Amino acid sequence: MKSILVYFFIISSLMNIKSTAQNVVPLYKNSEAPVEERVEDLLSRMTLEEKIGQMNQFVGIEHIKAAEVSLTEEQLKSNTANAFYPGFSIDDLENLTKSGLVGSFLHVLTIEEANYLQSLAMKSRLQIPIIFGIDAIHGNANAPDNTVYPTNIGLASSFDADMAYKIARQTAKEMRAMNMHWTFNPNVEVVRDPRWGRVGETYGEDPYLVTRMGIQTVKGYQGDLNGENDVLACIKHFVGGSEPINGTNGAPADLSERTIREVFFPSFKAGVNAGAMSLMMSHNELNGIPCHSNDWLMTDVLRKEWGFEGFIVSDWMDIEHLYDLHATAENLKEAFYQSIMAGIDMHMHGIHWNELVLELVKEGRVPESRIDESVRKILAIKFRLGLFEHPFADEEFTMKIRLNPEHRQTALDAARNSIILLKNDGILPLSEKYKNVLVTGINANDMNILGDWSAIQKDENVITVLEGLKMISPNTRFEFVDQGWDPRNMLPEKVNEAAEKAKCVDLNIVVAGEYMMRFRWTERTCGEDTDRSDIDLVGLQNELIEKVAASGKPTILILITGRPLGVEKAVEKVDALVQAWEPGMYGGQAIAEILYGKVNPSAKLPVTIPRSVGQIQMIYNHKPSQYFHPYVVTSSEPLYSFGYGLSYTTYKYENLRLSGLEISKDENIEVNVDVTNTGKMDGVEIVQLYLRDKFSSTTRPVKELKDFTRVALKAGETKNVHFTITPDKLMLFDKDLKPVVEKGEFIVMVGSSSRDEDLLKESFYVK
């Protein structure tokens, strides 16, 4: 009897041991464990195939279904916005996901699809969650039913870095409410060519302004990158794509290292220092080396020089372009090899990656340790974002976050602060005497006001210009002549109809510009991959403006566009010009409020506006010799200068004073100036500080923005505005590209724009 009891005791103990072993939670699933330990534990359990899968991204199922209908295989080769995978079915993709061989998806635009794809990943052996990336450039606008803020160029026009943080923070919350975790923003490229279609996606032409806006956007998205309201920021595109040799997206960039370091690197380095944990490479080649295989950029500069700890993602099929476009790789496998060994961590996007990278490792060309480097970074982000604990979003809760009243108010406030008044012959703000008003133009009553990277939104969530005018001035009779949405196919008879009706009203408002909506990809005139050989108004728009203005009635021109346009001829014919950019869902209301004086315009230009394409490159921070010989016949001056913008009040700058006339290289200098609102309306002035190193060992720009601030002033009020010039703002790269502060005279300029006539000047000396 005793032996039987002992036998049962032994069996029971063994069963308990087995049961306990089965119930042990792997370390990587323990949310209390340090992220580094969780990463190493998970990595040790992964097969090589699973690791390589974490480095690969695919477009979503619904995107594939739509692309299969709208694209042929031949069109697919040159399309950079839509994709499907010939010979690879949706069932194949679902099975790949269930096998744990997909690390990320992009172009997933609904919470339902995101949750579904995540559920497939949860069926995999190790249940590694998907990280969903989306181009949430100005709000999560690329997906329906989200708050749409002004695009980045409009946000930059506000010179409001705090607003950049606020919008990014709200966007992060709306993204997480949709189970989205990774935004391909901020775009911190410095714009040098308005022909380039992506100007509206950036913060303009000035490295300092771009840097300030980019830092706050990164911080707003990521928070501490440790919570359910945080998302991963992605600084892009590294580097040179904003100065392509012919203005087209992805064209070669041929830039000296001096220019790269002085103009293009600062905003990226600042993004790294701000904690950005992902970075996207640029389509283009840089000085003969494609960015996607450029080990100097990815390894020497980004990793070793700047200490970047996040992961690097390719842009759309750009690794493949090493083979089929740049021709620096003989086949896809070689392209993948070059890119991985140069520093790429994640591939956007496609079906050949898993197979060919596996071959590269088994052949010994790519060490598995190199794969582990990339996978560690990707897994660390997934752990930090809490995706292992919370892989799904609540479909019942989602709309309590998205489009909530606070976010809507921010979109309206941001739009008000983004709209620039460039010309006003005394007609604005509008009075009640204009009882009958003609409204016309391609952007007068169209959702195009949302801007690039916007899905079609519900009508009730968008206020067009016409709707905004009716809302703000309900007693005015607005007569609308529809010119259609497509500037390339305007009808002469509709132009003539507007011209005739212009004679019978008190005032004309023409809302012109470009077309950006992505659902009509091939019909756009502005936006990603929509570059121009000129910067004129497209189609019959100039004719429309001329004929309407010929009525002799006051005429206002409003521009809805993502790039600066050379509208010199149009400006001569109108009484007021408003640059509204792409002001988002409440753009129409904000424009109307400014026209009728409910809001005093405060925005300033973050780019220079050339008179024509022949003035390119037209930037304010040019070198002294750029106009040593001015243009003949035409002007060498821009149409409108960087930092310029009008108000309904006037401001006076006086008493510019410095804390000293001589400092050492490691000292600060304090700058003070008095700014007075000398008009009759309260307003906000954007006070700008520029510097020039008068004599230097290498050539320096004629002026460089080094600080700015928004100052609210009541009518008649004076405020002292204070800036601190720190040694880093005096730095230049010497002949050996070493950062130094040189002795000599520095000119301080403070005022309302970059124009010399708008600036007070004083000098100090560095010993």
pLDDT at 41 over 60: yes
Within-domain flag for 731: yes
Q: Which CATH number goes with the domain that contains 357?
A: 3.20.20.300
**Among candidate residues 607, 635, 662, the one where a domain is terminated:** 607
- The residue segments making up the domain with residue 707 are 651-766
What integer is the mean pLDDT of 175-185? 98
What pLDDT does 10 receive?
Answer: 38
Nearest-5° Cα angle at 101, 95 to 106? 90
Within-domain flag for 55: yes
Token digits of residue 201: 């996606």
Return the DSSP state at 136.
-
* Same domain (yes/no): 352, 224: yes
Contact 240, 286 (CB under 8 A): yes
Contact 581, 562 (CB under 8 A): yes
Q: Write down the residue that tokens 């000129």 correspond to.
A: 534
**3-state SS, residue 539:** coil
Which residues does residue 438 pair with via DSSP β-bridges, in sequence order?
479, 508
pLDDT at 17 over 50: no
Nearest to 721 by CA among 732, 708, 731: 708
Which residues does residue 676 pair with via DSSP β-bridges, in sequence order?
652, 718
pLDDT at 18 over 50: no
What pLDDT does 24 receive?
Answer: 87
* Same domain (yes/no): 379, 430: no
CB atoms within 10 A of CB 396: 6
Within-domain flag for 633: no
Contact 766, 287 (CB under 8 A): no
* Same domain (yes/no): 379, 438: no
Amino acid at 97: T
Q: Write down the residue that tokens 């008649």 correspond to.
A: 716
Within-domain flag for 75: no
Within-domain flag for 615: no
* Same domain (yes/no): 600, 656: no
* Same domain (yes/no): 223, 320: yes
* In 611-699, beta strands by DSSP E: 651-658, 662-663, 669-677, 683-693
* Same domain (yes/no): 671, 595: no
Token digits of residue 705: 């923005």
* Same domain (yes/no): 136, 189: yes
* Same domain (yes/no): 367, 468: no
Quick one: three-class SS letters along 695-741?
CCCCCCCCCEEEEEEEEEECCCCEEEEEEEECHHHHCEECCCCCEEC
Token digits of residue 756: 């010399």
Nearest to 38 by CA among 47, 29, 50, 51: 29
Percent with pLDDT over 90 in the chain:
94
Is the peptide bond between 239 and the residue preceding it cis, with omega within 30 degrees of 0? yes
Q: How confident is the model at residue 57 (pLDDT cuts 50, 70, 90)?
A: very high
What pLDDT does 7 receive?
Answer: 33
What pLDDT does 432 receive?
Answer: 85
Within-domain flag for 167: yes
Q: Write down the residue that tokens 């790039």 correspond to.
A: 563
What pLDDT does 81 receive?
Answer: 84
- Radius of gyration for the alpha carbons in the chain, expressed in angstroms and rounded: 28
Summarised one tens digit per residue, pLDDT across range 496-555 is 999 999 999 999 999 999 999 999 999 999 999 999 999 999 999 999 999 999 999 999
**Among candidate residues 607, 639, 669, the one where a domain is terminated:** 607
pLDDT at 15 over 60: no
Nearest to 508 by CA among 577, 427, 440: 440
Distance CA 257, CA 680 (A): 50
* Same domain (yes/no): 463, 330: no
Q: Which of 66-75, 107-116, 425-434, 733-742 has the least mean pLDDT?
A: 66-75
Token digits of residue 72: 């042929």
What pLDDT does 73 receive?
Answer: 85
What pLDDT does 23 receive?
Answer: 66
Return the DSSP state at 189.
P
What pLDDT does 299 receive?
Answer: 98
The Cβ-side half-sphere exposure at 391, using a 13 Å CA radius, reads 17
The span from the first CA to the last CA of the chain, in angstroms, equals 100
Summarised one tens digit per residue, pLDDT across range 305-338 is 999 999 999 999 999 999 999 999 999 999 999 9
Distance CA 60, CA 416 (A): 36
* Same domain (yes/no): 465, 522: yes
Contact 263, 289 (CB under 8 A): no
Of 72 and 363, the structure prediction assigns the larger pLDDT to: 363
pLDDT at 8 over 80: no
Within-domain flag for 276: yes
**Residue 475 burial by CB count (10 A; 0-12/13-18/19+): exposed, middle or buried?**
exposed
Q: Which CATH number goes with the domain that contains 563?
A: 3.40.50.1700
Summarised one tens digit per residue, pLDDT across range 358-400 is 999 999 999 999 999 999 999 999 999 999 999 999 999 999 9
Contact 319, 347 (CB under 8 A): yes
What integer is the mean pLDDT of 259-277? 98
Is the peptide bond between 237 and the residue preceding it cis, with omega within 30 degrees of 0? yes
What pLDDT does 312 receive?
Answer: 98
Contact 234, 182 (CB under 8 A): yes
Contact 238, 342 (CB under 8 A): no
Q: Where are the alpha helices (DSSP H) in 261-345?
A: 265-273, 295, 321-324, 332-342
**Among candidate residues 329, 361, 388, the one where a domain is terminated:** 388
pLDDT at 677 over 90: yes
Domain count, the chain: 3
H or E segment and range at residue 311:
strand 311-313
Distance CA 101, CA 95 (A): 9
* Same domain (yes/no): 158, 217: yes
Return the DSSP state at 343.
T
CB atoms within 10 A of CB 432: 9
Within-domain flag for 404: no
Q: Which CATH number goes with the domain that contains 725?
A: 2.60.40.10
Which residues does residue 732 pair with via DSSP β-bridges, in sequence order?
740
pTM: 0.96
Produce one character per residue of 51-62: b if its CB has 16 or more CB atoms within 10 Å, e if not: bbbbbbbbbbbb
Residue 91 makes CB contacts below 8 A (sequence gap 6+) with: none
Distance CA 73, CA 84 (A): 9
* Same domain (yes/no): 266, 141: yes
Q: Where are the alpha helices (DSSP H) in 568-672?
A: 568-573, 587-595
